[in-house]
Structure 1
């Protein structure tokens, strides 16, 4: 079994190099077949957290896998699976967002949220002010983090009215419906949002990995030139890039609700 898995990994790496050098639909389809497990695993995970059929999620996930195959550069030295998972997950999340699907939350979180709301009202009356999350969590005998995650999960599954006020100005109000972008501008806004998210994630990197990522990927310098600017060797720049990419994947990957019982 281990030999078979190792062989598949080797075949996949070789095909990724071939595809990067000379892209073709035939090679791309082979790569899709080799990495179906990434899509199926993600679709299975999402199917327990939303109301969409597993088959629909799987089909959407393949679009993300294809995007990852087309954009992956095997010469960068990092694993394809780590590169592909955010693309697959992103496509599924965009699909769920567009379908306005409500996330399921674990029963424990539902009960915890309901109990927390009761405690909030009681504490507000006894304290004469709105209680802090730490005070509510203490009464519930859970950590502050679990209470905050519970609140977030409950809020995310509540549909918003398009008549709800999104922005207040001195002389007028803008509703959520009015604030939504028109279809023509949706793609541009999404691209700008992704660019800002990426830049924000890059800013969170440690100094040397951040410098390496900015010089090689944003300024398109060679690793040799980047090494001169940073004051290190090209091999060290490669290590900085690997760490930077791994950290970026962690920072950018969407947070999915745990399934729990």
Structure 2
């Protein structure tokens, strides 16, 4: 068994070695990404995935077939780094907003307005609004629904493959009942793993429109699933 494993690993190592120039060549599509080595490793994963699914009878070159797999893994790598950076910035901003809100509430004897918070922090108001909107979205998507009497967030329910079958059926029915473009937005965001910007570009919408419609659907789904579970 060990020898078979070693032979398979050697075969895959040789596959990557044989196509390393091709993979490195595709990293040019991501010039702004800091680590070419990370991109190469992601591309190598895509190459191996393509190899495992490649059918020579299709009549296409392997590199042509592997292109979308390699680019797909590289995109995922870039997206993960970007999400981490954005997440850190938003978390830091929300902490500053909370501190500013406490200070201003004590000073004004009321809840401060967003423009007052922005002025206190010396940042544009849209940055405060964007941070608060993102915070609300995270809270909303992580609010619990119930599957088999166990709390589970809507995001976990959508992406999980091992939740109660009745919950999955109910969720699928709710998604199918959506009208366009809401149905396509949810499909691209939660089943094809696209960002809001990518979804907006694909569907011919603005990112703000995608964000608002997605939030509306999440609230609708969460409320409906909670009603069904009760």
Between the two structures, name the one with larger relative contact order (CA 8 Å, sep ≥ 6).
Answer: 1
Fold-level similarity (TM above 0.5) = no
- Output the TM-score relative to the length of structure 2: 0.40
**The structure with more helix, counted as a fraction of residues:** 2
- Output the TM-score relative to the length of structure 1: 0.36
